[in-house]
Structure 1
Amino acid sequence: MNWKSRAAELAEDITHPTSRWRQAVTDTPRHLFVPRWWWAEESGGQEMVVGDGPSREERWLRVAYANRTWVTSIDGQHADHAPDDARTAGRPTSSSTLPGLVVAMFRHARIAPGMEVLDLATGSGYSAALLCHRLGDQHVTTVDVDPYLTQAAAARLADAGHRPDVHTVDATARLPGTWDRIVAMVSVSAVPAAWLAALRPGGRMVFTITGTGMVIGADRTDDGGAVGRVEPYHAGFMGVRHDGTGTYPPGLIEQMPQALTGEGEQVTTGRYPVFDPDCAWELNTQLYLAYGPTDYRYTEEGGRRVLVLVRPDGSWARAEEDDDQPGPTVHQSGPRRLWDGVERLRHFYNTRGYWGPPTLPVRIDPDGTCRITWGPREVVIPQATDYPTN
């Protein structure tokens, strides 16, 4: 199999010629880490179908060396275990992250030779392979909560010639060591105190906040906390899981089904069109900073677009729009009018032409409380009570 030329093309696509990560991307056989995957590209609808690499080698190479994320598990059903004709629809629970994002997270972590690095959320094992190439296996640890993922990744890393430390643990609980750098390829709703405890003096961690596009880089301080900033870069990862079942607990929308079909307390016509939060990083982040965690669900089919927003306080909004509609029909209920807030944010951007400063200062207390300075406000992301601290 001629994978080296494909890997070289990928490296040229996602790295600068002077990048210290270019050779790692060039020399790493990503196809070994994505032998099977779920995708919608060949299903023609909302369902995902299994793609099998070895059965169609040319397609396997095209997929593996594309700068794309490939879903490998849906609601705990890993593509490795699915029949060839399997179809499913559900929530992705594991993936092989697009290589460009992996390299970007490493770049924000400011990794240098001789450092010991924790790759937090093993996934397919590809990110750990890049670290091993750059630093040496003995400097790399990778952890995941899913025992199948760590087992499969360890085997595939060995096939690629690497043997880092691989552990099956809850990434928000006590971690098996301390490191100079922690890079989280999974998002969290609050910073686990365990990460700070595992970060060596002078160390740095890079992570994302669930439900936003915020990438935060923070350096450990003498008091056991960290200081840093929201980086001028946007990214999103799947939310952290606390057990190896391969599934997530029901989200806010599942707990509040009236948001999907209910009339609501107020029905209006919106000013701005329905948007896909997964493609609107900055708006999604501003919504989080203004109103806190917001669960969402976006669907698009046959020219009809629907966005549902739900907050923990019981507020919800549903905006529905067809191609020939002058504005979306908006249903809202609860203590806050979420869609009104979205429209205020969009109006601010349209009239000012910018969201605000490209970076925001961040301070993290030793207990994991994260404080983001957003203009005159301090947005506090509390320590999650269900995160063990030892």
Structure 2
Amino acid sequence: MDWTPRAYDLADRVTRPDSPWRAPIAATPRHAFVPRWWRYTADGWALQDGPADEEAWAAAAYSDRTLVTQVGSLHADHATPADRPTGRPTSSSTLPGLVVQMLEYAAITDGDTVLDVGTGSGYGTAVLCSRLGSGRVTSIDIDTYLTKAAGERLTEAGHQPYLVTGDATGPLPGVVDRIVAMVSVRPVPASWLEALPTGGRLATTLTNTSMILTATKTDDGGAVGRIERDWAMFMTTRTGADYPARDQAALERARTADGEVVTPARYPVLDLLETWEVRSMLEMMAPDIEHHHEVDGDTRTAIMLHADGSWARAVQVAGGQPIVHQGGPRRLWDLLDEVRAYWLQHGQLPLHGALARVSPDGTIRLRRGQWSASIT
């Protein structure tokens, strides 16, 4: 494949002309890190084999989009065309524009040492190596196959960073100037703060939110920073081969049961999988809500589930007033209404632009005007 012109074109689309990441993007053969991937279709996840269709491979690899490489525990490298995995994505090659965005938020300079959290396909690691040199880059992932395959592909591309297989929220090897995460966490792992010197910087997203946290290590062992006025969402860190299985029985109950409380909704049904800012604010109030959104003709249904047994279902037909069913110890839809009422009253939500103080144990305290919140 004549990939160089495509990589230059990609660099032109995802970086500014004066960006220090322009040359690394142009010099990195992304297709080599994603020879096979998964594409979501009407029939579920379908395997895409790059070498079998080189033009489609090049078009996908040098597009500014995420390519899912693993669903559940099944990596595309190990799949057959007949496979239709049904789990959640567990690894990917992040869209290059977002890779650049996070690297820029980490404020990496020439000569810095960097910990890349979430090796994935190895593409982002290669971009780091292209600018800094392999000796200044460490990358960590929980999945043995991911670090093995990425290591082989990085070597073929001329890079040999230090690759670690392990839990990125646990102890880390050595001290680095910058930590940049292509996965989300909540709270900030204490080990990250321990791995940074005073003045070192981290850039990450917070689990189940669109919030990008940047923070600089302070001499008390914590960090200060802010929630950037920007949006990004990543897979959350995991400790095993897959995320815990979803409770399908609980989902079916929420989809069909009569609620303990049944009321008309104050506002139209939202797709909280796409309404990132509202979902992020709700996450501050009730962490770890599972969201589902279903469309059947002119009927829209939103479902929320929580591990504590709380659930809500809102159904809206043809633009009419939705009806909400709620059950369990908390009224999840009422919390969502509080978020939407705040938005209407203030004209915005307070998350993006909030000041952040991170304690040495990783607890995040946010403040913007009269609003404050803690993330533990």
SS at match of 1:233: coil
CA distance in 1, matches of 2:343, 2:283: 15
Q: Aligned letter for 1:362? A: A
1:372 to 2:366 alignment: yes
1:349 to 2:343 alignment: yes
Aligned counterpart, 2:271: 276
CA-CA distance at 1:300 after TM superposition: 3.8
CA distance in 2, matches of 1:99, 1:121: 15
Aligned counterpart, 1:387: none
Q: Aligned letter for 1:147? A: T
CA-CA distance at 1:86 after TM superposition: 2.2
CA distance in 1, matches of 2:33, 2:79: 17
Aligned counterpart, 2:75: 78
Tell me the percent identity: 47
C-alpha change, 1:164 and 1:302, in structure 2 (3 Å) is farther
1:237 to 2:231 alignment: no
Aligned counterpart, 2:333: 339
CA distance in 1, matches of 2:268, 2:217: 42
CA distance in 1, matches of 2:277, 2:166: 32
Query: Does structure 2 retain, via aligned residues, the 8 Å contact 1:314–1:335?
Result: yes
1:96 to 2:89 alignment: no
1:144 to 2:150 alignment: no
Aligned counterpart, 2:221: 224
CA distance in 2, matches of 1:93, 1:352: 37
Query: Does structure 2 retain, via aligned residues, the 8 Å contact 1:116–1:140?
Result: yes
Query: Does structure 2 retain, via aligned residues, the 8 Å contact 1:252–1:311?
Result: no
Structure 1 window deviating more from structure 2 (166-175 vs 304-313): it is 304-313
C-alpha change, 1:378 and 1:328, in structure 2 (3 Å) is same
Matches within 5 A, 1:18-29: 18-29=18-29
CA-CA distance at 1:377 after TM superposition: 4.2
Partner deviation per Cα, 1:211-257 (whole Å, 9 max, x = no partner): 111110011111111111111111111111113xx211135777665
Aligned counterpart, 2:3: 3
Matches within 5 A, 1:13-52: 13-40=13-40, 43=41, 45=42, 47-52=44-49
Q: Aligned letter for 2:105? A: H
Aligned residues: 376
What runs of 5+ residues in structure 2 fail to find an aligned partner?
none
1:262 to 2:257 alignment: yes
Structure 1 window deviating more from structure 2 (92-101 vs 250-259): it is 250-259
CA distance in 1, matches of 2:296, 2:123: 34
SS at match of 1:54: helix
1:186 to 2:183 alignment: yes
Partner deviation per Cα, 1:282-311 (whole Å, 9 max, x = no partner): 111121223344222233455543322223
CA-CA distance at 1:375 after TM superposition: 4.0
SS at match of 1:187: strand
SS at match of 1:232: coil
C-alpha change, 1:301 and 1:199, in structure 2 (3 Å) is farther
Alignment equivalent of 1:311, drawn from 306, 313, 320: 306
Query: Does structure 2 retain, via aligned residues, the 8 Å contact 1:253–1:295?
Result: no
Aligned counterpart, 1:107: 104
CA distance in 2, matches of 1:166, 1:254: 40
SS at match of 2:98: helix
CA-CA distance at 1:184 after TM superposition: 1.1
CA RMSD of aligned residues (A): 2.0
Alignment equivalent of 1:129, drawn from 117, 120, 126: 126
SS at match of 2:168: coil
C-alpha change, 1:303 and 1:83, in structure 2 (3 Å) is farther
CA distance in 1, matches of 2:299, 2:54: 37
CA-CA distance at 1:75 after TM superposition: 0.9
CA distance in 2, matches of 1:242, 1:154: 20
Aligned counterpart, 1:160: 157
Aligned counterpart, 2:12: 12
CA-CA distance at 1:258 after TM superposition: 2.8
Partner deviation per Cα, 1:108-152 (whole Å, 9 max, x = no partner): 100000000000110000110110011111100101010000000
CA distance in 1, matches of 2:110, 2:249: 46
Aligned counterpart, 2:353: 359
SS at match of 1:178: coil
CA-CA distance at 1:325 after TM superposition: 4.1
CA distance in 2, matches of 1:46, 1:114: 48
CA distance in 2, matches of 1:125, 1:82: 19
CA distance in 2, matches of 1:277, 1:329: 17
Query: Does structure 2 retain, via aligned residues, the 8 Å contact 1:373–1:379?
Result: yes
CA-CA distance at 1:14 after TM superposition: 1.1
SS at match of 1:37: strand
